[in-house]
Amino acid sequence: MPRPAPRTPAALLAIAPVERRRLQSRLLRWYRRCARDLPWRRTRDPYQVWVSEVMLQQTQVRTVEPYFQRFLAAFPTIRRLAAASIDQVLLAWQGLGYYSRARNLHEAATIIGRTRPVRWPTDADAWQALPGVGRYTAAAIASIAFDQPVAALDGNIRRVLARLAAVREPADAPAVQARLWRLAQNLLDPAAPGDFNQALMELGARVCTPRAPACRTCPLRAHCRAARAGLQQAIPVRRPRRAAPQVSALAAAIRHDGRYLLLRRGPRGLLAGLWGLPMVETPGPCDATAAALRRAVRPLTGLRVRSPRALGTVSHVFTHRKLTLTVFECALADRRAALSAPAPEAAWLAPAEFATRPLSELDRKALALLGAEARHALQQRTAPAAAVLA
Ligand code: SF4
């Protein structure tokens, strides 16, 4: 029988005031000397800090940088963002993934942008009341843009703190997280909360990395219980993850006069608000057949189709599941039948027009199976958002 993991003594999460001051000054000195020069670090403008923090959720700095620049070029102020349509925002976000972030950003912009002059929330609680702003993001914005003495705890900081305190329990367990939040608040330098939070993030991203922490050059080595005990590779302890379930689906590329039917998905759920081919889940990949396609199209669109032809399959990994999608091309059987899609909007688009709608990665892969013209049009989608929106 496996032995239970030892509990981290509460004493490990406490730190003496003298040691805390040393830790703060070592970390801040290192950060001010070594931090990467990132566009969102050159400003304390709440709008830019907010956009960057939302983009950085689950996404690497290198990926975010060009999106951040293009997004600000397209929407330089919160008022411009609030005035934009959701399609414009999703187009600018396209390729960054986790589209609920863009929808929430837009919704929150319409809430803040309503006030004249714009009244920014200044404390973390007020930020957390906005759509899509969790505890970490609220704390990061309040500390960086408004000097609020509130600690932030993201994945990078959690790893650093778990190692500093040699936490031998799973660091993502709720009870351990609560203690790490307290430790983060206890360590925070109230004189420079924004820099301190960013310094811990930077340390986690560049020095105290998941697989190869560079303890020899770490400014916090003298304070690190994991390094002292030789446990830095074993911490943070992770809970075993369940394998992502496999899901199958089929998509119908319904052709009519050289155009294809695209639907906009509803406002909730995975890929909400994005455009794509009519799709339906199937019990398994073997059930994605031409007969199943014919049966599925009617309730999805109100249309009848003929001559379905499998174009191929595409795979896509979402956060919690892996999808295999079989794409069929088919012709409209009855030209007089009226479109009655349950989706909020529908459009017949030539391949060259695919670039006018925000599409998920999955839909881009599916549409690419339609041929060279579609692939060429989809490549144009990587054009800067500012150009698309001009
Ligand atoms: S000494 Fe090593 S394990 Fe400890 S905080 Fe620094 S890099 Fe991380």
Does residue 383 belong to any structural domain of this protein?
Answer: yes
Of 19, 53, 353, 373, which residue is the catalytic one? 53
Contact call for residues 195 and 31 (beta carbons, < 8 A): yes
Between the two ends of the chain, the Cα-to-Cα distance in Å is 64
Query: Is residue 24 scored above 50 in pLDDT?
Result: yes
Q: Is 70 in the pocket of ligand 1 (CB under 6 A)?
A: no
Give the range among 43-57, 65-79, 93-107, 256-270 with minimum mean pLDDT.
Answer: 256-270
Domain that includes residue 133, residue range: 10-229
Does residue 324 belong to any structural domain of this protein?
Answer: yes
Same domain, 265 and 159: no
Does residue 378 belong to any structural domain of this protein?
Answer: yes
Instruction: Give the model's confidence band at 344: pLDDT under 50 very low, under 70 low, under 90 confident, else very high.
Output: low
| Ligand 1 closest atom vs CA 220 | 6
- Tell me the C-alpha distance between 358 and 220, whole Å: 45
> Can you give the pTM of this predicted structure?
0.84
CATH code: domain of residue 337? 3.90.79.10
Query: How many A from CA of 221 to the centre of ligand 1?
Result: 6
- How many domains are contained in the chain? 2
DSSP 75: -
Does residue 240 belong to any structural domain of this protein?
Answer: no
Write out pLDDT tens, residues 236-246.
998 887 888 89
pLDDT of residue 181: 95
Give, for 158, the enclosing helix (H) or strand (E).
helix 155-164
For 338-343, which contacts have Cβ atoms below 8 Å and span 24 or more sequence positions?
Answer: 338/302, 339/261, 339/301, 339/302, 339/303, 340/301, 340/302, 341/263, 341/278, 341/300, 341/301, 341/302, 342/299, 342/300, 343/263, 343/264, 343/265, 343/266, 343/278
Instruction: Give the model's confidence band at 334: pLDDT under 50 very low, under 70 low, under 90 confident, else very high.
Output: confident
Same domain, 78 and 109: yes
Same domain, 373 and 271: yes
Size (the chain), residues:
390
What value does the mean pLDDT take over residues 334-341? 70
Asked about 19 being catalytic, the answer comes back as no
- Whose alpha carbon is nearest atom 3 of ligand 1? 232
Contact call for residues 140 and 53 (beta carbons, < 8 A): yes
Does residue 235 belong to any structural domain of this protein?
Answer: no
- Tell me the C-alpha distance between 343 and 268, whole Å: 11
- Tell me the C-alpha distance between 295 and 308, whole Å: 11
Query: How many A from CA of 177 to the centre of ligand 1?
Result: 19
Same domain, 213 and 252: no
Same domain, 276 and 224: no
Q: What does the block give as tokens for 127?
A: 């930020």
DSSP letters spanning 196-226: HHHHHHHHHHHTS-SS---GGG-TTGGG-HH
